[in-house]
Amino acid sequence: MKRILLTAALCAALLGTQAGNADYNVIPMPQSVTPAKGGPFRLDATVKIVYTGDDELMKSNADFLSRYIDETVGMKLQTTAQKDKKAPYILLTADPKMKEQEGYRIQVNNKAITIAGATPAGVFHGIQTLRKSLAGLTQGEEVLFPAADIADAPRFGYRAMMLDCARHFFPVAFVKQFIDMLALHNMNTFHWHLTDDQGWRLEIERFPLLTKISSMRESTVIGRNSDVEDGLPYGGFYTKEEAREIVEYARKRHITVIPEIDMPGHMVAALAAYPHLGCTGKGYKVGSKWGVYRDVLCIGNEDTYAFVQGIIDELTEIFPSEYIHIGGDETPTERWESCPKCRKLAQEHQLGKKQLQAYFTNRMEKYINGKGRRIIGWNEIAEGDISPTATIMSWTGAGPGYEAAKKGHDIIMSPTSHMYFDYYQSDKKDHEPLSIGGLVTMETVYDFDPVPDSLDAAAKRHVIGVQANIWTEYIATTNHVEYMALPRMAALAEVQWTPAARKDYGSFKLRMDKLAKMYDRYKWNYGLQLWPERSNYGRWLW
């Protein structure tokens, strides 16, 4: 009898099913969770969060943990520097011997919880795991952390989501919330799409018309490119100050912000303000319809280079990221082919049709490299001859990414088939708000295999990460962005972080139940396809 009880208690402890027990089976699933001998760690108000070293990010890590615990179970724990260490405590510490930069180890016994990482970023990810282990608990509940040893590190070094703030503009407070959502899902990069045909969203001091003219469209098309427009001026932009504030907000959360200035296509908003930079030189207005515009930057005009380089100069002052995203998608060559300046350029440099954009990309890369930064571009940039030092973001499918990897480019996998969170998330389309089309369910995201066996070993090493994108042609409100992001972001997190061998959709769905409770706590809107028994009424509000 005693043995049965003991086994039952142990099972309950391991599975985390006992009321008040933390459950380390979180999303993304850690590499290894091993139960340890001895009693659990009891969390009560006497527990201190102790941090070591004088790294300001370790101190802010401690503040985050304290805040997260308060938000989850309603307990305010003090934080303190190493010298006050006295059990019981949760210790945050650096372990320079750890190999994985973003890895961490959590050891739990009845006296203490230790979270160690090679870097403060690693410790931060450990904090997210500890935080999520409380997801199923309620405010005021006593917490027992079962004794355990957790060793973890991410599968990919680049784990991101992109938010399109050009088609629709989202306030600074929401961009920060989006960064919080990324942090909860162990991501380390926020790709910020700041410019497009329908709006320019970043202040650039030397080109004031970008905010005065390009940030505003006269009107927005209704529905899916119907003939009718709403006639309502729409716009917005981030000041440099606000952009810096977002970079800093993300940095504290160990997230890098990569800005994207989409060029030489998707530039109609800029052309509306600076028409001499287009091949025809006139007649541009900020886009009010969706899709691909024929008008692009004139690559035969030296003023174009002065313009984009000036933008890069200011951009790199705001964003310290190693990468600058130069876009490069969907750039028709039609205007270039009939433009005297572009034709002259093509003749001088012996450029065939495919090499026109490559000429522009190569110049931009040299300029950006000269500032000690590297470029990322959408996969179309690799259609001409460019340098393998450019990182390629594969979106039109997975194939173009793998082709680029074979040529020596680092690649980021973001194919429409699995990673387009602007697509519907269920086949019951009439239950969802209008979307651009397509279908990317939770399971589709979850099943994405970024590194197929068929790829040769050298190319495999070039797959540096995975990213999902939220394009916002049809997404006008923050509520709707949340709904498109969640819970697919959780499936993405497991693709980005968890070793393929530990992925299991059945187990993921059970763990998702708990993570969804955190979404509820933060009042984040999310798709309910996994919970058909729950009513949608009053939740899907845009």
Q: Which residues would be at the binding site for ligand TNX (CB under 6 A)? A: 329-330, 378, 395, 420, 422, 436, 471, 473
Q: How far is the CB of 228 from ligand TNX (least distance, A)?
A: 21
- Rounded to an integer, what distance in angstroms lies between the CA atom of residue 179 and that of residue 165? 14
Does 313 participate in catalysis according to the annotation? no
What's the CA gap between 348 and 328, in Å, rounded? 23
| DSSP line for 373-421 | -EEEEEGGGGGS---TTSEEEE-S-SHHHHHHHHTT--EEE--HHHHBT
Closest CA to 121 of 106, 100, 135, 107: 100
Residue among 180, 245, 330, 504 flagged as catalytic: 330
The nearest distance, CB 80 to ligand TNX, in angstroms, is 47
Distance of closest approach, residue 312 Cβ to ligand TNX, in angstroms: 19
Name the 3-class secondary structure at 263.
coil
Where b means 16+ CB within 10 Å and e means fewer, 184-202 reads bbbbbbbbbbbbbbbbbbb
CA-based nearest residue to 491, from 472, 460, 468:
468
Q: Among residues 365 and 422, whose Cβ is nearest to ligand TNX?
A: 422
Residues contacting 506, CB < 8 A, separation 6+: none
Judged by beta carbon, residue 23 or residue 422, the one nearer ligand TNX is 422
**Nearest distance in Å: CB 404, ligand TNX:** 15
Gap between the Cα atoms of 278 and 301, Å rounded: 9
Among 185, 266, 325, 409, the one annotated catalytic: 266
Nearer to ligand TNX, 61 or 357 (CB): 357
Distances in Å between the Cα of 198 and the Cα atoms of 4, 347, 436 are 66, 33, 16
Q: Which residues pair with 470 in a beta bridge?
A: 163
* 443: annotated active-site residue: no
Question: Which of these is catalytic: 196, 260, 473, 482?
Answer: 196
Which residue reads 């296509």 in tokens?
265
**Closest distance to ligand TNX from the beta carbon of 480 (Å):** 15
Residue 266 annotated among the catalytic residues of the structure = yes
| Residue nearer to ligand TNX on the CB measure, 145 or 378 | 378
Taking the complex as a whole, the smallest distance from the CB of residue 422 to ligand TNX amounts, in Å, to 5
Closest CA to 186 of 158, 163, 148: 158
What are the catalytic residues? 196, 266, 330
